[in-house]
Amino acid sequence: MKIRNGFVSNSSSSSFCIVGVCFDEDNETMLKNILSIVSLDLEQLVEKFSAAGCECDIDRKSMTKKEWSFCPVCQKQLFKEVDKYQMNAEIAKKFRELDLTFFFDGYEYYLGQDIGEDNIRIEMEKMETTTNKLVELLGKGTVVRLHHGEYEY
Ligand SMILES: [Zn+2]
Protein backbone atom coordinates (compact mmCIF):
# COMPACT_ATOMS: atom_id res chain seq x y z
CA MET A 1 0.00 0.00 0.00
CA LYS A 2 1.23 3.46 -0.90
CA ILE A 3 -0.22 6.63 0.50
CA ARG A 4 -0.84 9.27 -2.08
CA ASN A 5 0.30 12.73 -1.02
CA GLY A 6 -1.28 15.93 -2.16
CA PHE A 7 -4.85 16.71 -2.93
CA VAL A 8 -6.72 17.04 -6.22
CA SER A 9 -9.70 19.31 -5.65
CA ASN A 10 -12.25 17.73 -7.98
CA SER A 11 -11.66 14.06 -7.26
CA SER A 12 -13.18 11.77 -4.70
CA SER A 13 -11.43 9.10 -2.75
CA SER A 14 -12.63 5.79 -1.51
CA SER A 15 -11.12 3.31 0.88
CA PHE A 16 -10.73 -0.37 0.23
CA CYS A 17 -9.92 -3.47 2.20
CA ILE A 18 -8.92 -6.61 0.34
CA VAL A 19 -7.80 -10.03 1.49
CA GLY A 20 -5.46 -11.15 -1.22
CA VAL A 21 -2.28 -10.62 -3.13
CA CYS A 22 -0.82 -7.27 -4.11
CA PHE A 23 1.79 -6.48 -6.74
CA ASP A 24 3.37 -3.47 -8.35
CA GLU A 25 2.04 -2.25 -11.69
CA ASP A 26 5.53 -2.78 -13.19
CA ASN A 27 5.50 -6.47 -12.27
CA GLU A 28 4.55 -7.71 -15.73
CA THR A 29 5.39 -11.33 -14.93
CA MET A 30 2.89 -11.40 -12.09
CA LEU A 31 0.26 -9.64 -14.17
CA LYS A 32 0.70 -12.20 -16.97
CA ASN A 33 0.42 -15.07 -14.48
CA ILE A 34 -2.76 -13.62 -13.09
CA LEU A 35 -4.23 -12.99 -16.53
CA SER A 36 -3.55 -16.58 -17.58
CA ILE A 37 -5.91 -17.74 -14.80
CA VAL A 38 -8.80 -16.15 -16.67
CA SER A 39 -7.40 -16.94 -20.14
CA LEU A 40 -6.47 -13.36 -20.95
CA ASP A 41 -3.34 -12.28 -22.79
CA LEU A 42 -1.60 -9.02 -21.89
CA GLU A 43 -0.49 -8.24 -25.46
CA GLN A 44 -4.01 -8.75 -26.78
CA LEU A 45 -5.48 -6.57 -24.05
CA VAL A 46 -2.97 -3.80 -24.68
CA GLU A 47 -3.76 -3.89 -28.38
CA LYS A 48 -7.50 -3.90 -27.74
CA PHE A 49 -7.40 -0.91 -25.41
CA SER A 50 -4.90 1.31 -27.18
CA ALA A 51 -6.21 3.12 -30.21
CA ALA A 52 -3.97 4.74 -32.76
CA GLY A 53 -3.29 8.42 -32.16
CA CYS A 54 -3.54 9.38 -35.83
CA GLU A 55 -5.70 8.00 -38.61
CA CYS A 56 -3.25 7.81 -41.47
CA ASP A 57 -3.39 4.74 -43.66
CA ILE A 58 -0.02 3.23 -42.71
CA ASP A 59 1.18 -0.22 -41.77
CA ARG A 60 0.99 0.08 -37.98
CA LYS A 61 1.61 -3.57 -37.30
CA SER A 62 5.18 -3.29 -38.57
CA MET A 63 5.87 -0.35 -36.25
CA THR A 64 6.54 -1.14 -32.65
CA LYS A 65 5.83 1.37 -29.94
CA LYS A 66 9.48 1.68 -28.95
CA GLU A 67 10.74 2.40 -32.44
CA TRP A 68 7.92 4.65 -33.61
CA SER A 69 6.43 7.27 -31.31
CA PHE A 70 5.24 9.63 -34.04
CA CYS A 71 3.55 9.08 -37.36
CA PRO A 72 5.98 9.45 -40.31
CA VAL A 73 3.18 11.00 -42.39
CA CYS A 74 1.38 13.50 -40.14
CA GLN A 75 3.89 13.67 -37.25
CA LYS A 76 1.15 13.18 -34.69
CA GLN A 77 1.53 10.72 -31.88
CA LEU A 78 1.23 7.31 -33.50
CA PHE A 79 0.01 5.22 -30.60
CA LYS A 80 -2.29 6.43 -27.89
CA GLU A 81 -1.57 5.29 -24.37
CA VAL A 82 -3.38 2.20 -23.16
CA ASP A 83 -6.75 2.96 -21.59
CA LYS A 84 -5.94 1.26 -18.31
CA TYR A 85 -9.31 2.02 -16.81
CA GLN A 86 -11.14 0.09 -19.53
CA MET A 87 -8.52 -2.65 -19.58
CA ASN A 88 -8.71 -3.21 -15.83
CA ALA A 89 -12.51 -3.22 -15.97
CA GLU A 90 -12.38 -6.07 -18.47
CA ILE A 91 -9.95 -8.04 -16.29
CA ALA A 92 -12.09 -7.40 -13.19
CA LYS A 93 -15.18 -8.66 -15.00
CA LYS A 94 -13.46 -11.96 -15.74
CA PHE A 95 -12.37 -12.41 -12.12
CA ARG A 96 -15.85 -11.70 -10.81
CA GLU A 97 -16.87 -14.95 -12.51
CA LEU A 98 -14.43 -16.67 -10.11
CA ASP A 99 -15.86 -14.69 -7.19
CA LEU A 100 -12.61 -12.71 -6.92
CA THR A 101 -11.99 -8.98 -6.87
CA PHE A 102 -9.36 -7.58 -9.24
CA PHE A 103 -8.49 -4.02 -8.45
CA PHE A 104 -5.95 -1.30 -9.32
CA ASP A 105 -5.43 1.59 -6.90
CA GLY A 106 -3.29 3.69 -9.23
CA TYR A 107 -0.01 2.11 -8.16
CA GLU A 108 -0.57 -1.53 -7.45
CA TYR A 109 -2.82 -4.40 -8.46
CA TYR A 110 -4.81 -6.47 -5.99
CA LEU A 111 -6.48 -9.82 -6.41
CA GLY A 112 -8.59 -11.35 -3.70
CA GLN A 113 -11.76 -10.75 -1.79
CA ASP A 114 -13.14 -7.30 -1.14
CA ILE A 115 -14.13 -6.93 2.47
CA GLY A 116 -14.91 -3.23 2.26
CA GLU A 117 -18.04 -1.53 3.54
CA ASP A 118 -20.47 -3.71 1.62
CA ASN A 119 -18.90 -6.92 2.83
CA ILE A 120 -17.89 -5.90 6.32
CA ARG A 121 -19.61 -8.93 7.84
CA ILE A 122 -17.45 -11.38 5.95
CA GLU A 123 -16.66 -14.46 8.02
CA MET A 124 -13.17 -15.60 8.89
CA GLU A 125 -14.07 -18.77 7.03
CA LYS A 126 -14.46 -16.85 3.79
CA MET A 127 -11.06 -15.21 4.32
CA GLU A 128 -9.58 -18.68 4.67
CA THR A 129 -11.39 -19.89 1.56
CA THR A 130 -10.04 -16.93 -0.39
CA THR A 131 -6.51 -17.61 0.84
CA ASN A 132 -6.73 -21.25 -0.19
CA LYS A 133 -8.19 -20.32 -3.56
CA LEU A 134 -5.35 -17.87 -4.30
CA VAL A 135 -2.67 -20.34 -3.25
CA GLU A 136 -4.27 -22.93 -5.49
CA LEU A 137 -4.38 -20.52 -8.44
CA LEU A 138 -0.99 -18.86 -7.98
CA GLY A 139 1.15 -21.51 -6.32
CA LYS A 140 2.50 -22.51 -2.93
CA GLY A 141 4.65 -19.48 -2.14
CA THR A 142 1.77 -17.06 -2.60
CA VAL A 143 1.59 -14.49 0.19
CA VAL A 144 -1.98 -13.50 1.05
CA ARG A 145 -2.44 -10.48 3.26
CA LEU A 146 -5.02 -7.97 4.33
CA HIS A 147 -4.53 -4.83 2.23
CA HIS A 148 -6.08 -1.54 3.15
CA GLY A 149 -5.76 1.82 1.51
CA GLU A 150 -7.40 4.65 -0.35
CA TYR A 151 -7.67 5.47 -4.00
CA GLU A 152 -8.84 8.51 -5.92
CA TYR A 153 -11.25 8.41 -8.80
ZN1 LIG B 1 -0.55 10.05 -39.12
- The answer to the question of residue 36 being in a domain is yes
- Ligand 1 centroid to 76 CA: how many Å? 6
Domain that holds residue 124: 13-41+84-152
- Ligand 1 centroid to 73 CA: how many Å? 5
- Ligand 1 centroid to 48 CA: how many Å? 19
- Ligand 1 centroid to 43 CA: how many Å? 23
- The answer to the question of residue 102 being in a domain is yes
Q: Smallest Cα–Cα separation from 21: which of 116, 87, 115, 101? A: 101
Instruction: Give the mean pLDDT of 10-30.
Output: 87
- Ligand 1 centroid to 62 CA: how many Å? 15
- The answer to the question of residue 58 being in a domain is no
Domain count, the chain: 1
Residue 70 has pLDDT above 90, yes or no: no
Q: How many Cα atoms are found within 13 Å in the side-chain-facing hemisphere of 54? A: 16
Calpha distance 49→90 (Å, rounded): 10
* pLDDT over 90, % of the chain: 44
Residue 77 has pLDDT above 90, yes or no: no
- Ligand 1 centroid to 63 CA: how many Å? 13
- Ligand 1 centroid to 14 CA: how many Å? 40
Burial zone of 93 (CB within 10 Å; 0-12 exposed, 13-18 middle, 19+ buried): exposed
pLDDT of residue 23: 95
- The answer to the question of residue 147 being in a domain is yes
- Ligand 1 centroid to 19 CA: how many Å? 46
pLDDT, mean over the chain: 84
- Ligand 1 centroid to 67 CA: how many Å? 15
- The answer to the question of residue 63 being in a domain is no
Q: What is the pTM of this model?
A: 0.73
pLDDT interval class at 28 (50, 70, 90): very high
- The answer to the question of residue 116 being in a domain is yes
- The answer to the question of residue 94 being in a domain is yes
